[in-house]
Amino acid sequence: MEQNIDPKKMFSAPPFDTPYQDYPGTENKMEPKADHGEESYVGYGRFKDRKVIVTGGDSGIGKAVAIAFAREGADVLISYLSDEEDEDAEDTASFVRKAGRKAMLMKGDITSEKHCKAIVDNAVAEFGHIDVLINNAAFHISRKSIEDIPTYEWNLTFDTNVNALFYLCKAAVPHMPKGSSIINTTSVVAFDPSEDLLPYSATKSAVVNLTANLSQILLKQDKGIRVNAVAPGPVWTPLIPATKFNVENFGKNTAMERPGQPVEIAPAFLFLASADASFISGAVLPVTGGRITI
């Protein structure tokens, strides 16, 4: 990305005129298109021959993370949910392969512990081990009041955003050598809850606690695995027009008065997985456009 530019003006700002979508949403219907670093991210071989799992890797933050790790030399397993996302997932895989790296695609529902174990088992069968686990996939839907939240939706939000992290970490840890990293995606709403995202905000607070606690456990048990989290602010992904109210003004509530683009979030994951972050574990790195997380 270009340097010495006003950060408020680096990417599109609201108002947006993008069509609403059915969940889970796809890239081709977004306007403007999200930037995943397809044209701008330059790698320097920092993760040569590392083996990475990225959930929610078909689009949004996960796609940007997958592209960045591949251009840094890593092989990547891309986990995604459904047939509707096939095109986006294949596009992500194509960028990984263009970088000269292996790309695996795993479609399925991570609320199933059996599927989470299959993700890990397939990665280990193909790659031999796992160096980085990125727990990025998440679910939310805006609701105006607690009475509007169906119980099944509350449960689905926790199953996707919290339980799946447990399933994946439990399955992956035995296959992660010392020096590996687990990086979870939490959110600014863990610190500054959104009144239309009650279940989501609650799950993201749980992710913060899970991250800190698991970090202590794995280091004290001499596993040598660091666990951290990234807390994005509002980010322009297909999930937004598929699930949010008032998309026209999305991101206006940041100090930068715009949402982040996935390409702006991905470097935080790479930093936390890198040797530069060797003394960082149990931490949350905010990438929020200036929204406060203290």
Structure tokens at 242: 């598929």
Helices and strands in the chain, H and E counts: 8, 7
Asked if 176 and 278 count as a contact pair (C-beta separation under 8 A), the reply is no
Give the other-Cβ count within 10 Å of 79's Cβ.
30
Supply angle C-alpha 184, 115, 188, rounded to 5.
20
Q: What is the 3-state secondary structure (H, E, C) of 120-168?
A: HHHHHHHHCCCCEEEECCCCCCCCCCHHHCCHHHHHHHHHHHHHHHHHH
Number of Cα atoms under 13 Å in the Cβ half of residue 262: 30
Give, in degrees to the nearest 5, the angle at Cα 105 between 102 and 110. 135
User: Is 200 tagged catalytic?
Assistant: yes
Number of other CB atoms surrounding residue 272 within 10 Å: 25
Catalytic residue from among 41, 80, 167, 200: 200
Provide the CA 239 distance to its chain's centre, in angstroms: 12
CA distance 283 to 182: 11
With left for phi above 0 and alpha for psi between -120 and 50, is residue 230 left, alpha or beta? beta
The set of residues, in sequence order, having a beta carbon less than 8 Å from that of 133 and lying 6+ positions away, is 52, 53, 168, 169, 172, 176, 180, 181, 182, 183
- Residues with active-site annotation: 200
